[in-house]
Amino acid sequence: MDDEKPILNSLNRLFRPTGYKIHLANSGDEGLALLEQEAIDIVVSDMRMPGMDGAKFLSEVARRWPSTARMLLTGYADVSSAIEAINQGEISRYLTKPWDDSDIVMCVQQAVETKRLQEEKNRLELLTARQNEELSALNEGLEQKVEERTREIEQARQEICDAHDALHAGYAATIEVFSRMVQSRGGLSSRATVADDARAVGRNMGLEKSTCDALYNAALLCDIGKLGLSDESVLTPYISLTASQQREYQRHPVVAEATLLSLDPLTDAANTIRHHCERMDGTGFPDRRPGKEIPMSSRILAVAKAYVDLQDGRILEEQLTAAEARKYLQSESGKRYDGQVVNQFLKWLDSPKREVSDVAERRTTIGALMAGKTLSRDLCDPNGVLVIAKGKRVSESLLEKLRCLQESFAEDITVYVEDRRM
């Protein structure tokens, strides 16, 4: 509901492909009249409207139609009014204008699913209550019927538990969607290993389960703020970016926090992401926090993420081996990274409980490469074109072809091979 027809028309066009039945109203009175005539699942109202503003309108909706989900559209200048609307109208979510199309569609879809699950939960609870009443009225001699009803009640209770679990699974699905969006962006990849390592280190350092779970989610979504960066800023190692590109890159933790902040279960994860690029010496970004002013979860994420990024060439101009990445973390302890976290992380890497094992590898060049070695990483030419996928064993004939390829380039082509002696 909005008093501005262009906004109503824009929302109408946005939601038309979703298949939802859409009703439009220009004022609070029109909205209440619609609710009296139609069964409405979700109400999206603007804050500023003539006559009855969004806070009063949503408060009336909450009083008369409490099962209808309520959302508020508000500008940045209406924070106090938005708080009033939250208190009076018991809104499920508020969105700022201008809105992001995909964000508002996802919020509405989540609200629809939550309402459906809540209705199913209510239905099952009523069913359970009715069955309990029937059970109490059964004759003592109807033992077989009692057993049948008992099974039905147990099934109904299990369905209630499943519905409750589904509510939590909805947030997990949201995290999965965001994670896949990040992975689909060129230059970015899955952070599943980082998430597992970060959560394990958090547990070993005595963090609470809720904090470790938030840390796991933060690791999965730590790159979401990079979706709006240029390809060059994503693909180029940070140390090689120009000053202006580094300033652009340094915004990604703040953008990530703003993206996730509207989802209450991800508030702690959003805070962890905001500060994971800070440094112990206070020269990091975005807030230049030093030492213990950086949340412990952010310090853990910084180390776990750097270990992978160093091997992928996202921090330095060259890709490091796993052993070299370990040495780099140790060399930067107390300056860039928390020394205690580094020690715990390296201890975890050597733990038999860690399911992912680092491949012992050695960096060499085609000129020094020997036949019989197995590639531990994809081999690409200096232009980034894949030549041979990792896992390939280098034969004499393949080695000759690689040497011919090397002659086409002035710089040496780096090769990573498995080294069983390490």
pLDDT one-digit tens code per residue, 278-299: 999 999 999 999 999 999 999 9
* pLDDT of 76 higher than 60: no
Question: Within 10 A of 325 (CB to CB), how many other CB atoms are there?
Answer: 22
Sheet of strand 69-74, all strands in order from the earlier edge strand to the far edge? 42-46, 69-74, 93-96
Band (87; pLDDT cuts 50, 70, 90):
low
What does the pLDDT read at residue 111?
80
Residue 302 structure tokens = 């910084």
Q: Dihedral sign, CA of 255, 109, 24, 64? A: negative
Q: Which two tokens stand for residue 413?
A: 């082509």
d(CA 92, CA 243): 42
Residue 283 buriedness (CB in 10 A; 0-12 / 13-18 / 19+): exposed
The tens digit of pLDDT for each residue in 183-195 reads 777 778 788 889 9
57 pLDDT higher than 60: yes
Is the pLDDT at 222 greater than 90? The verdict is yes
Going by C-alpha positions, the residue among 251, 191, 184 that lies closest to residue 217 is 191
Per-chain mean pLDDT for the chain? 84
Question: What is the model's pLDDT at position 298?
Answer: 97
Task: pLDDT band for 151, please (50, 70, 90 cuts).
Answer: confident
Beta bridge pairs of residue 70: 43
How many angstroms separate the CA atoms of 194 and 145, rounded? 54
3 state SS for 177-208? HHHHHHHCCCCCCCCHHHHHHHHHHHHHCCCC
Query: Residue 422 has what pLDDT?
Result: 44
Counting residues of the chain whose pLDDT is more than 90, the rounded percentage is: 31
For residues 299 and 319, is the Cβ–Cβ distance under 8 A?
Answer: no
CB-based contact 366:413 (threshold 8 Å) = yes
Give yes or no for residue 207 having a pLDDT over 70: yes
DSSP H or E segment with residue 251:
none
Confidence of residue 210 (pLDDT cuts 50, 70, 90): very high
